Amino acid sequence: MSNLATGEFQVVNAKIITPSGVLKNGSIRVKAGIITAIGNGTDSPVHSDIETIDANGSWVIPGFIDVHVHGGAGHDFMDAGTEGLAAITKFHASHGTTRMLATTLTASRDDLTAAIDRVSSFMSTSMPYAQIIGVHLEGPFVNVKWKGAQNPAYILPPQIEWLEDWVARFPGIIKIQTLAPETEGALDYIEKLALNGIVPSCGHTDATYEQIIAAADRGLRHAVHTFNAMTPLHHRQPGTVGAVLTDDRIIGEVIADGHHVHPAGIKLLTKAKGTNNVILVTDAMAAAGMPDGDYDIGGLPVHMSCGVARLKEGGSLAGSTLTMISAVQYLVREIGVTLEEASRMASANPARQLGIDDVTGTLEAGKAADFLLLDSSLELQTIWVGGRKLTD
């Protein structure tokens, strides 16, 4: 079922971020959920016969695409039913996410299969909020040494039989899988992922620099939450971080919440990779949007205090409570990137990594009308998903 709006409207007098730069006096016209025209005021004249929204000089930017998000509003993708999935997508849509990957955790084969099945079924409905466009499997084929908030009871080496079953039962649903490339059978598994059009990703890994490069030779091209749960950078042993920073085949995620990575680390990542090769993610868990208190992630007890979620046992960070708009604001205000660069990391880059940049991720005629209106302080004013204005 389609989520596209059928009406026609235009937003005028806006600063619009496009692939070719910022249109200072821009207008964007939409019909049937698709951008039909975009340009400066003189290039894209106002049509008085359709609904017109005056942006009063505010920003219009692409909707955010979150490729690593576990849940929110009290629900987790691992066990959420229809109501829970709607609640997660509604919460993140209210913070600017227009498309997302439902991200799993390390769990049993049966539980993972059930989660993929529920998400796949939900994707066939008319999703009223942020669009779930697939699944990101984080685990279970990770390294227990860097388990973080992954449940160690279910960590095991890569199982190609599982992948073959998932691909056969849920064609096109799995978009990314994160694993530890140094584990037994991982290189063959990475190659199998790539052959099936799934982005192979490293994370929760004890891999050396050389092992990551070998994995990239087999198809690895993504790193989850760079710096977190992976071998760190050392000048004689570059580790996973060193490989991610220096290999242009690998796009690195980052959680820009002020807790997971020091600002200098984020600056290092963006300078080393360039803002074309970094993807902004939330890694948000069920506690996102909820009050401080006790929660659960992958069967492990978590306590959230002042918005920071940590495992009760060991104190490791357990996902985040971040939203995409807060992450973009952090990049601009604390890291010093431009809004154009932050937008690229939050929208264009994930779209390119997922192979959907022909339909979304940037504002161009012919693409989906997934975009946001931000005021001069970068506060969200309006969200459109498929040309449909979201309201409370």
| CATH number for 321 | 3.20.20.140
Please report the pLDDT score of residue 319 as a whole number: 87
Three-state DSSP class for residue 59: strand
Same domain, 134 and 166: yes
pLDDT in tens, 297-322: 888 899 999 989 899 988 888 889 99
Please report the pLDDT score of residue 1 as a whole number: 33
Cis peptide leading into residue 45 (ω within 30°): no
Same domain, 68 and 57: no
**Beta partners for residue 296, in sequence order:** 301
pLDDT in tens, 197-222: 999 999 999 999 999 999 999 999 99
**Is-catalytic flag, 66?**
no
Give dist(CA 294, CA 304) in Å, integer. 6
Q: Where are the alpha helices (DSSP H) in the chain?
A: 82-93, 109-123, 160-169, 186-195, 209-218, 239-246, 263-273, 324-330, 339-343, 349-354
Tell me whether residue 289 is in a domain.
yes
Please report the pLDDT score of residue 296 as a whole number: 86
Are 128 and 83 in contact by the 8 Å Cβ rule? The answer is no
Tell me whether residue 97 is in a domain.
yes
Three-state DSSP class for residue 322: coil
Residue 82 — very low, low, confident or very high, per pLDDT cuts 50/70/90?
very high
Same domain, 230 and 288: yes
Give dist(CA 230, CA 232) in Å, integer. 6
Please report the pLDDT score of residue 297 as a whole number: 86
On whether the pTM is more than 0.75, the answer is: yes
Average pLDDT over residues 363-387: 97
Same domain, 366 and 281: no
Same domain, 130 and 260: yes
Structure tokens at 350: 């994930």
Are 24 and 41 in contact by the 8 Å Cβ rule? The answer is no
Tell me whether residue 1 is in a domain.
no
Tell me whether residue 3 is in a domain.
no
- Backbone phi, psi, residue 111, to 5°: -70, -40
pLDDT in tens, 4-59: 566 899 999 999 999 999 999 999 999 999 999 999 875 555 566 789 999 999 99
Are 96 and 66 in contact by the 8 Å Cβ rule? The answer is no
Distance of CA 242 to the CA centre of its chain: 22
Give dist(CA 126, CA 129) in Å, integer. 9
Residue 113's identity, in one-letter code, is T
Distance of CA 141 to the CA centre of its chain: 20
Question: Out of 111, 283, 357, 370, which one is annotated catalytic?
Answer: 283
Q: Give every CB contact of residue 328 below 8 A, 6+ residues apart in sequence.
A: 64, 96, 280, 339, 342, 343, 346, 378
DSSP summary character for residue 371: E
- Give the chain's domain count: 2
Number of Cβ within a 10 Å radius of residue 169: 12
Same domain, 148 and 25: no
DSSP summary character for residue 390: P
Of residues 64, 144, 72, the one with CA closest to residue 371: 64
Give dist(CA 39, CA 42) in Å, integer. 8
Residue 157 — very low, low, confident or very high, per pLDDT cuts 50/70/90?
very high
Flag whether pLDDT at 263 surpasses 50.
yes
Same domain, 14 and 122: no
Three-state DSSP class for residue 40: strand
Flag whether pLDDT at 2 surpasses 60.
no
Q: Which of 128-142, 157-171, 261-275, 311-325 shows the lowest per-residue confidence on average (mean pLDDT)?
A: 311-325
Domain of residue 334, residue span: 64-354
Please report the pLDDT score of residue 48 as a whole number: 67
Are 349 and 121 in contact by the 8 Å Cβ rule? The answer is no
Tell me whether residue 249 is in a domain.
yes
Same domain, 29 and 163: no
CA distances for 303 relative to 92, 298, 318, angstroms:
21, 14, 9
Same domain, 271 and 211: yes
Are 27 and 39 in contact by the 8 Å Cβ rule? The answer is yes
Tell me whether residue 288 is in a domain.
yes
Tell me whether residue 257 is in a domain.
yes
Same domain, 146 and 289: yes
Q: Give every CB contact of residue 330 below 8 A, 6+ residues apart in sequence.
A: 256, 257, 258
Give dist(CA 307, CA 322) in Å, integer. 9
Which run of H or E residues covers position 170? none
Same domain, 209 and 319: yes
Structure tokens at 369: 């009308």
Are 288 and 336 in contact by the 8 Å Cβ rule? The answer is no
Same domain, 37 and 117: no
